[in-house]
């Protein structure tokens, strides 16, 4: 591999990684406040993508305008998630896996019924082409998506560390009972976090649809990706999630550059398996801010 290809892979991997961070945030936030492992996370992102595609093909609007629409469209599901996850019996992690395995199947069937399993892509011309920096070519779509992801991560970081709401959310995910005893409205913090997590997933889905083909079964890879990032970074540590996202993005682009795209899924599953085996204490080890 020439130095130029390597640099190209590193840069596009880092851009991809910023976007991976955005996609993993919803999973990690919900795990923080409800202790639920949401296996339907990736399917929710794909659903956001399909809604974005449907609006884009109907209206011809610029995909970036549709990101907030996708985010708003999934808000009601945020309330549903909060309602479901607060009702889970102990052990919450395991029963959430069972519940969300069912939700994931439900969403896949819904999307299959609505969009018939055809591959869809928001192929906006405004995001195509290539910008040249010396000998490196960059895709403007990927640049915009990475910039949007970084902006969201930055805003969320400020929200979580600088506001009253952020303190309530962090306290709730550290120790729900202690936070409630201290007068923090933990239900309110849980509700707003679930709403925000679903909005992030919906918006991320529209962006995802500009980069990758959508199909109803495509969510599982995104879920596995979110779990890997959460294992690597710990729950709620935004800066670590960003670093982990970029690492995974680079790893993926290098894998694809070296051995071709069909190895992508295998490497992702292997990385998840090895990370789980190596971190046998569970995700809770990283539970801090």
Partner 1 sequence: MPRGEWIGVGLVGAALLLLPPLSGFHPYYLYLVSTALLFGTVATSWNLLAYAGQISFGHAAFFGLGGYGAALASLAGFSPWLAIGVGGLVGAGGAAGIGLASARLRGAYLALATLAYAEVWRGIAHNWTEVSGGGAGLIGIPPLPPVGWLPLDFTRGRAGGYYLSLAFLIVILAVFAGILRSRLGLAFAAVREEEERASLLGVHPLPWKILAFALSGFFTALAGGLYVHMVRVAEPDLMFSRYFSLLPLVMATFGGLYTLLGPAIAALGLYLVSELLLHPLAPAFHQLPYALALIVVALYLPGGLAGLLRKKKHHGTA
CA distance 57 to 63: 10
Binding site for partner 1 (CB under 8 A): 37, 84, 87-89, 91, 93-99, 101-103, 105-106, 109, 112-113, 220, 224, 227, 262-263, 265-270, 272-273, 276-277, 280, 282-283
CA distance 88 to 95: 6
- Answer yes or no: are the C-beta atoms of 44 and 205 closer than 8 Å: yes
Closest contact distance (angstroms) between CB of 175 and partner 1 is 20
Looking at the Cβ atoms of 54 and 115, the one nearer to partner 1 is: 115
Contacts of 216 (CB under 8 A, 6+ apart): 46, 108, 109, 111, 112, 115, 117
Closest contact distance (angstroms) between CB of 30 and partner 1 is 14
Looking at the Cβ atoms of 23 and 36, the one nearer to partner 1 is: 36
Closest contact distance (angstroms) between CB of 113 and partner 1 is 4
Closest contact distance (angstroms) between CB of 11 and partner 1 is 26
Looking at the Cβ atoms of 65 and 101, the one nearer to partner 1 is: 101
Q: Which two tokens stand for residue 128?
A: 């195509």
Closest contact distance (angstroms) between CB of 100 and partner 1 is 8
Closest contact distance (angstroms) between CB of 153 and partner 1 is 25
Strands 131-133 and 136-138 come out as antiparallel
Looking at the Cβ atoms of 114 and 147, the one nearer to partner 1 is: 114
Sign of CA dihedral 10, 15, 16, 21: positive
Looking at the Cβ atoms of 94 and 131, the one nearer to partner 1 is: 94
Looking at the Cβ atoms of 76 and 91, the one nearer to partner 1 is: 91
Smallest CA-to-CA distance from 44 within 269, 197, 245, 255 is with 197
Contacts of 89 (CB under 8 A, 6+ apart): 95
Question: In a 10 Å sphere around its CB, with 0-12 CB exposed, 13-18 middle and 19+ buried, how is residue 257 labelled?
Answer: middle
């Amino acid at each position: 591999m020439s130095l130029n290809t390597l640099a190209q892979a590193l840069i596009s991997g880092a851009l991809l990684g910023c976007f991976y961070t955005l996609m993993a945030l919803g999973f990690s936030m919900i795990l923080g406040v409800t202790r639920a492992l949401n296996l339907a996370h990736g399917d929710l992102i794909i659903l956001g993508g399909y809604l974005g595609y449907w609006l884009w093909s109907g209206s011809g609007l610029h995909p970036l305008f549709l990101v907030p629409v996708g985010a708003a469209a999934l808000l009601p599901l945020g309330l549903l998630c909060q309602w479901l996850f607060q009702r889970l019996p102990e052990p919450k992690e395991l029963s959430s896996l069972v519940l969300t395995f069912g939700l994931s199947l439900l969403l896949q069937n819904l999307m299959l019924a609505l969009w018939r399993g055809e591959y869809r892509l928001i192929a906006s011309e405004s995001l195509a082409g290539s910008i040249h920096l010396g000998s490196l070519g960059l895709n403007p779509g990927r640049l915009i998506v990475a910039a949007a992801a970084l902006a969201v991560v930055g805003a969320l970081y400020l929200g979580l560390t600088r506001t009253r709401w952020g303190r309530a959310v962090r306290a709730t995910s550290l120790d729900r009972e202690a936070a409630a005893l201290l007068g923090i409205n933990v239900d309110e913090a849980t509700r707003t976090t679930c709403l925000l997590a679903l909005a992030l997933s919906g918006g991320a889905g529209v962006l995802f649809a500009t980069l990758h083909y959508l199909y109803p079964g495509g969510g599982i890879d995104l879920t596995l990706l979110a779990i890997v990032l959460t294992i690597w970074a710990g729950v709620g540590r935004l800066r670590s999630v960003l670093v982990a996202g970029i690492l995974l993005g680079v790893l993926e682009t290098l894998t694809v550059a070296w051995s071709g795209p069909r190895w992508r899924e295998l490497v992702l599953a292997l990385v998840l398996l090895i990370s789980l085996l190596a971190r046998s204490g569970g995700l809770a080890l990283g539970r801090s801010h």
